[in-house]
Amino acid sequence: MVEPQSLQNLSAEELRELTTRLMTQLRHQSALLDKLTHENALLKRMKFAAQSERFNPEQKSLLEDEIEADLAAVATEIDALQEAQAPAKLEEKKVPKRAPLPANLPRREIRHEPASTTCACGCQMKRVGEDVAEKLDYVPGVFTVERHIRGKWACAKCETIHQVPVDPHVIDKGIPTTGLLAQVLVAKYADHLPLYRQEAILGRAGLAIPRSTLAQWVGSCGVQLQPLVDAMKAELLQHRVLHADETPVAMLKPGNGKTHRAYLWAYATGAFEATRAVVYDFCESRSGEHARRFLGDWRGSLTCDDFSGYKALIASGVTEVGCLAHARRKFFDLHA
């Protein structure tokens, strides 16, 4: 700080120099204040604000289902009260049109007929029509057992036995059919239903199948499906534009019981390609060597973020296509 009394003893040149120095300090303090204000706003947004950059219309409130259920319950109670108060009301209630049930669903007819078709007056009644009401029913997981019976045929003259060979199965000498295996895989990977929950579902049906057995089924199916993965990869590498990204997943390290950060690399065709395919490559690290090994001699346009692991691919002849979603994210942060 400069004392006011000392300013009187300064020359004009010294005053200009002092003013310049003070203005420089003021600009520096102002810039520092702006920087700290921005960082504080960014940290508060990262901690308290919504993480998504836009509202997803498919993301519904968890309370909406409860609200709809409560409204339906109240409407049912109101209808019951109105019917009790005015049973002789002849006006038909306006019911919203309901879409017909799909024609491909199997139908089971349940007929309701009077115990006797003889009228109280003694005359025989004649059928003049019927009313049909369709109700949608659901039977949880219906399990059936396939009994494969292979007859043995013997020739007395040749002293030989003939029998039809066993059909190939995904799991030799296992109890699951392809239908059950498909259900386990779809429930686990498409419906995100862990094996321990599937174990409980099977248990309610009276089937004691431990999750270790279910895990063995999943592993065996993975081996059997590997040729399909290889064919998808070969088809994928025929396209000139690919998308690539990697996401961390927790992997349990054998022996020490601790988790290790592994990565699931995803490769997909372009949005405007006729073939819509995604191939996943599980790797234990984020090294760019995994991407180079997967793509091999492929040389096309790769849409990816600015991760350094792709730089060796770019240097070897792959055309880099910057991801606009990542670029937009920076502008969005600055705007927010």
What pLDDT is attached to residue 274?
87
Angle between helices 226-236 and 211-224 (to 10 degrees): 50
Mean pLDDT across the stretch 266-280?
Answer: 91
pTM of the predicted structure, to 2 decimals = 0.65
Q: Does residue 241 contact residue 300 with C-beta atoms inside 8 Å? A: yes
Q: Which amino acid appears at position 170 of this protein?
A: V
Q: Does residue 199 contact residue 242 with C-beta atoms inside 8 Å? A: no
Kindly report, residue by residue over 172-208, the tens digit of the pLDDT.
Answer: 888 999 999 999 999 999 999 999 999 999 999 889 9
What pLDDT is attached to residue 180?
94
Residue 240 has pLDDT above 80, yes or no: yes
157 or 7, higher pLDDT: 157
Domain boundaries, the chain: 169-224, 227-335
Distance in Å from the first CA to the final CA of the chain = 38
Edge-to-edge strands of the sheet including 259-269?
278-283, 259-269, 241-252, 301-304, 319-322
Mean pLDDT across the stretch 216-222?
Answer: 93
CA geometry: angle at 245 spanning 296 and 60, to 5°? 150
Kindly report, residue by residue over 57-116, the tens digit of the pLDDT.
Answer: 555 555 555 566 667 777 777 877 877 776 555 555 565 677 888 899 889 999 999 889
Residue 48 to residues 62, 219, 316, Cα–Cα distance (Å): 20, 41, 43
What pLDDT is attached to residue 81?
80
Mean pLDDT across the stretch 8-27?
Answer: 85
CA geometry: angle at 92 spanning 88 and 95, to 5°? 135
Residue 85 to residues 74, 77, 111, 236, Cα–Cα distance (Å): 17, 12, 32, 68
What pLDDT is attached to residue 77?
78
Q: How does the average pLDDT of the chain come out, rounded?
A: 85
Strand-pairing partners, residue 283, are 263
Cα dihedral 178, 184, 189, 190 sign: positive
Cβ of 313: how many Cβ atoms within 10 Å? 20
